Amino acid sequence: MLSEGASYTPLPGEQTLYQSPPRTTLSLQSADKHPPSQAYSQQCKSGVVYLTNRRIIYLPVTATSEFQSFAVPILNVLDSRVTAPWFGANKWEAVVQPVYGGGIPPQHSELELTMEFKEGGAFDFATTFERLKERLKQAVEVARESGLATGDGTESGGGQGGGALAGVNLNSVHLEDLPAYSPAVQQTPLIRPEPLPASPRRESVASASSPTAANRSSSLSSPRQDTFQPPSDPPPGYEEVQRGSIADELERRLRNAEERDDR
């Protein structure tokens, strides 16, 4: 599990998603239901936490004969949460299920895990872990529906092909954050309006800048602006009306003359 340097030996296809500062503590405790004689406890005050697409790995800064490393598969971690005490650094707590043959006594089916991030990073670790665990669960469900998954709900061993991820294509699991959704901006293409067919009125106005066009436009004036010319022939019945008017005038003058003679 350990490499020649200060890191770990990755499994085939394993990628590191998070690495904590070196001053991170680790505490493993057995549940209270066990008697004191069977209790299990492991402590480390300074180490580095690695979160990969397969496991949580803790490597102490100074290894001892009692404790050299700790690792747990992602799907074997339950009830994880971040606690922020009034005093001290933030902690990440969870319940882990040990794998078979991993160095923990077999009578302990669950252990309480606590990691204290003294130099920060608890929330970053928790956010990355929850996103990764959810996507691994979805990959397992898809593999089960297609009949490819052969494991149960948890990892039974530390090998590549055992446990819940047996038969799951880890290359299809998206490890990075998906881009935030933003509505697509539809760019409306510029549509140039087609020119309307020119009417005689538009042509006269458009060409009014030239002297010839100006003379032509002045000749196309409104009928109201034309000079009135009287008709050469008299209207119908004009002569009858004229004769009647003359007769009436003569009769009126004769009547007036007779009245003067009588006086």
**What is the mean pLDDT of the segment spanning 95-103?**
90
- φ, ψ for residue 205 (rounded to 5)? -75, -40
Give the domain CATH number at 111.
2.30.29.30
- Do the domain assignments include residue 207? no
Question: Which residues constitute the domain of residue 78?
Answer: 16-172
Of 2-6, 37-41, 77-81, 160-164, the one with minimum mean pLDDT is 160-164
Share of the chain above pLDDT 90, in %: 35
Answer yes or no: is 126 within a domain. yes
**What pLDDT is recorded for position 124?**
95
Judge whether 143 and 167 are in contact, CB under 8 Å.
yes
The torsion angles phi and psi of 111, rounded to 5 degrees, stand at: -130, 150
Q: Is residue 18 within 8 Å of 125, Cβ to Cβ?
A: yes
For 258, counting Cβ atoms within 10 Å of its Cβ (0-12 exposed, 13-18 middle, 19+ buried), the class is exposed
Please tell me the distance from the alpha carbon of residue 195 to that of residue 181, in angstroms, as a whole number: 42
Domain count, the chain: 1
Asked whether residue 253 is domain-assigned, the answer is no
Q: Is residue 246 part of a domain?
A: no
pLDDT digits (tens, 9 = 90+) for 201-213: 544 444 444 555 4
Predicted confidence (pLDDT) per residue in 48-87, tens digit: 999 999 999 999 999 888 899 999 999 999 999 999 988 8
What does the pLDDT read at residue 19? 95
Query: Are 32 and 40 contacting, i.e. CB atoms less than 8 angstroms apart?
Result: no
Residue 54 is predicted with a pLDDT of: 92
Q: Is 43 among the domain residues?
A: yes
Q: In which band, very low, low, confident or very high, does the pLDDT at 160 lie, cut at 50, 70 and 90?
A: very low
Cα(112)–Cα(96) distance, integer angstroms: 6
**235 located within any domain:** no
Per the model's pLDDT, the better-predicted residue between 107 and 124 turns out to be: 124
Average pLDDT over residues 139-168: 64
* 17 pLDDT more than 80: yes
SS3 223: helix
193 lies in a domain?
A: no
Residue 87 lies in a domain: yes
- In this prediction, residues 21-45 reach a mean pLDDT of 86
pLDDT at 161 over 50: no
Tens digits of per-residue pLDDT, 212-241? 544 554 444 444 555 667 666 767 766 777
